[in-house]
């Protein structure tokens, strides 16, 4: 009897020959056609196991000491203002770019912008470590846009972990790039790849802002030639590692020129990020403007709840007047969706974003939350990563985060631009 397993040689043939051999031994008395059909069904069943995409499950939470969720000594008194070494007017950048910066109301750079922009303009590899909401995006966009204005053929990659962050950076790029003749394209999943392919083939884009998965897909389709890109930004590098993108990141970096300009930004520097920096960057300048793991302007506390009374405790909190714009976090997509619907049934203006919602729905919900169309946004860690939404009054960790690094990123959605914020974590 011929070996059914030789239908597809890219899989483990020996394994399927074993299936055939053992099956045949137990089915010697059956007709040859029946045995062949039975073996083929087994082969297809095993083949589906190889082809099945891995399911991303919510990680089990670390045993985080709840005292780390408490910081009531928020600095509210007036402190000395940061005095930058530079003004935007001082930087060696094009007058059109300066005009766009001033039109946004920016006169002086933030601490991370003040320290990083000069190094990027000089062409140095840079590692930037900063709390969220500190102007990190401008710290790399402004000098790299200058680079593209000096050399219109310059190709620059910006790689980020989530589509929402990619879209946000692209929007920021457009506000800085008016009348500069430099252009960008945002390549993310959840939207038509054919439209992105058309724009990549027919328009000259100096910047590609993308998530690792979609970028790898476009490279494999031979739409993007990474050897033409001499500059790359790895933003939210710690989160990309958390999400399992290290293989995609190595794939991308290995296809770029060995001599390149690499910038890496991370809110936390853990062992894995240090390994990545050593692997991808050359003699980088490290700039850290973190004042601690969490911003000092965020009041942090825990809320003790019983398992049965959790939703009622939340209801009572949300009824208080000061909870006017609340971002809540859950650990699973199903739990986030269920909580959002429960709150809606209780009369709150709430909605959710998570991986099971398509791109257009997520953007619609974010738009409603940003423009005060809804009061409460319930989200998973992945969906809300890097979001910059103004005036979030409270972050509530309805479910304890899987890691302390996730906690840091969650509460960084409030207290942005040095405003006061409040972060509450529900603890059983």
Question: Does some domain include residue 60?
Answer: no
Specify the range with the lowest mean pLDDT, choosing from 4-8, 129-133, 172-176, 219-223: 4-8
Give me the mean pLDDT over the 329-355 stretch.
95
- Indicate the residue among 288, 323, 358 that finishes a domain: 288
The conformational region for residue 51 under phi > 0 = left, psi -120 to 50 = alpha, else beta, is alpha
Do 234 and 249 touch, CB atoms closer than 8 A?
yes
**Could you give the CA distance from residue 176 to residue 300 in angstroms, rounded to a whole number?**
35
pLDDT of residue 224: 97
Who has greater pLDDT, 263 or 162? 263
257 and 355 in a single domain? The answer is no
pLDDT of residue 109: 94
pLDDT band at 327 (very low <50, low <70, confident <90, very high): very high
CATH of the domain at 363: 3.40.50.300
303 and 375 in a single domain? The answer is yes
- Indicate the residue among 263, 288, 313 that finishes a domain: 288
Who has greater pLDDT, 261 or 83? 261
333 and 258 in a single domain? The answer is no
pLDDT of residue 81: 60
243 and 271 in a single domain? The answer is yes
When mean pLDDT is compared over 66-80, 212-226, 356-370, the highest value belongs to 212-226
Please report the sign of the dihedral spanned by the C-alpha atoms of residue 71, residue 77, residue 78, residue 80. negative
pLDDT of residue 64: 81
- Indicate the residue among 288, 316, 346 that finishes a domain: 288
96 and 47 in a single domain? The answer is no
User: Does pLDDT of 354 surpass 70?
Assistant: yes
Question: Does some domain include residue 83?
Answer: no
Backbone φ and ψ for 19, nearest 5 degrees, come out as -60, -45
99 and 175 in a single domain? The answer is yes
Order of strands, sheet of 376-379, starting from the edge strand that comes earlier in the sequence: 298-304, 421-427, 394-397, 326-329, 376-379, 350-353
108 and 256 in a single domain? The answer is yes
Average pLDDT, the chain: 84
Tally the domains of the chain: 3
Neighbours of 112 (CB within 10 A): 24
**Could you give the CA distance from residue 428 to residue 422 in angstroms, rounded to a whole number?**
20
pLDDT of residue 47: 46
Question: Does some domain include residue 57?
Answer: no
User: Does pLDDT of 60 surpass 80?
Assistant: no
193 and 225 in a single domain? The answer is yes
2-59 pLDDT, tens digit per residue, is: 444 443 433 333 333 444 334 434 444 444 555 555 555 555 555 454 444 444 444 4
Question: Does some domain include residue 255?
Answer: yes
418 and 337 in a single domain? The answer is yes
**Could you give the CA distance from residue 78 to residue 101 in angstroms, rounded to a whole number?**
27
Q: Which domain holds residue 12?
A: 4-51
């Amino acid at each position: 009897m011929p070996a059914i397993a030789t239908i597809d040689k890219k899989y483990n043939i020996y394994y399927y020959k074993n299936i055939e051999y053992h099956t045949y031994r137990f089915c010697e008395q059956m007709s040859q056609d029946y045995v062949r059909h039975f073996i083929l069904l087994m082969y297809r069943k095993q083949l589906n196991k190889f082809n099945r995409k891995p399911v991303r499950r919510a990680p089990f939470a670390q045993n985080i000491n709840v005292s780390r969720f408490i910081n009531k000594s928020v600095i509210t008194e007036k402190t000395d203002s940061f005095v930058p070494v530079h003004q935007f007017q001082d930087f060696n950048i094009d007058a059109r770019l300066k005009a766009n910066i001033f039109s946004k109301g920016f006169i002086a750079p933030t601490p991370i912008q003040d320290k990083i922009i000069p190094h990027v303009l000089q062409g140095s590899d840079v590692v930037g470590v900063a709390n969220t909401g500190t102007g990190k995006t401008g710290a790399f966009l402004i000098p790299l846009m200058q680079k593209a204005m000096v050399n219109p053929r310059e190709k620059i990659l910006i790689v980020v972990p989530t589509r929402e962050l990619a879209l946000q950076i692209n929007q920021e790029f457009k506000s800085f790039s008016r009348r500069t003749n430099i252009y960008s394209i945002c390549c993310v999943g959840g939207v038509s790849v054919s439209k992105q392919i058309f724009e990549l083939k027919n328009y000259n884009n100096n910047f590609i802002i993308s998530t690792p998965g979609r970028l790898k897909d476009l490279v494999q389709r031979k739409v993007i030639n990474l050897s033409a890109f001499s500059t790359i930004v790895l933003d939210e590098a710690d989160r990309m590692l958390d999400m399992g993108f290290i293989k995609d990141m190595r794939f991308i970096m290995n296809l770029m020129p060995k001599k390149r300009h690499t910038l890496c930004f991370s809110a936390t520097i853990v062992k894995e990020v240090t390994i990545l920096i050593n692997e991808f960057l050359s003699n980088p300048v490290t700039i850290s403007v973190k004042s601690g793991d969490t911003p000092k302007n965020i009041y942090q506390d825990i809320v003790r709840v019983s398992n049965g009374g959790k939703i009622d405790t939340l209801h009572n909190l949300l009824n208080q007047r000061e909870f006017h714009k609340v971002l809540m976090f859950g650990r699973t997509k199903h739990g986030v969706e269920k909580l959002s619907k429960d709150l809606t049934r209780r009369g709150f203006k709430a909605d959710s974003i998570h991986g099971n919602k398509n791109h257009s729905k997520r953007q619609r919900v974010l738009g409603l939350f940003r423009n005060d169309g809804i009061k409460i946004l319930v989200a998973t860690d992945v969906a809300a990563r890097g979001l910059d939404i103004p005036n979030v009054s409270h972050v509530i960790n309805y479910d304890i985060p899987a890691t302390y690094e996730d906690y840091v990123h969650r509460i960084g959605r409030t207290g942005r631009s040095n405003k006061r914020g409040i972060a509450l974590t529900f603890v059983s």
